[in-house]
Amino acid sequence: MLGEFEYLMITAAAGLGDKAYGAAIREEIEHTTGRNCSIGALYTTIERLEKKGLLTTWMGEATPERGGRAKRMVRVTPKGVKAAKDFYDVVIRVSRGASWVANRTGSTS
């Protein structure tokens, strides 16, 4: 099963589609979660997911705002989509009885 950060990475990459690359994924994760995402965590996770066959990467085009340096483009594979879906289903299932789930009147107030 995926780890939490791996799930975030796959979801961000899938959401960005053809525009998924290192800096964009990092920005998306930081923007969505409000947490800092280090370059180290980003690239080691990309490599790990690629080894598992959940992502594919290749060197993309260079742009002036990157000082003429190429992007490492990322695409989620069908296996990656399935792994993310499985993770999501598990989170939904395990959260059913939790007091913070919207449709439950819990005693947390």
Partner 1 sequence: MTAIGWSFVEVAARLLERGEREAVLGDLLEAGESGLQGVLDVFGLAVRRQLGLWKDWRPWLASFGMALPGSLLLMGFSLSVSQTYQRLIHPTIFKATGLTVGPGFTLFLCNVFLLVGWSWTGGFVMGSISRRTVRVSAIISFLPCVFCLARFRVESLSRFCLLLFLLPAVWGVCQGLQIAQIKMRSALILAAAITLLTIPTWTSKGSWIPNWALSWPAWYLVAMAWRSEARKERERWRTN
Of residues 55-94, those binding partner 1 (CB under 8 A): 59, 62-63, 65-67, 69-72
Q: Does 26 bind partner 1 (CB under 8 A)?
A: yes
Task: For residue 10, give the nearest of 59, 58, 78, 80 by alpha carbon.
Answer: 80
Q: Cβ-count burial of 22 within 10 angstroms (0-12 exposed, 13-18 middle, 19+ buried)? A: middle
Token digits for 88? 């999501």
Comparing CB distances to partner 1, the nearer of 27 and 89 is 27
Shortest Å distance, C-beta 37 to partner 1: 10
State the residues that interact with partner 1 by CB under 8 A.
Answer: 21-23, 26-27, 38-41, 43-44, 59, 62-63, 65-67, 69-72
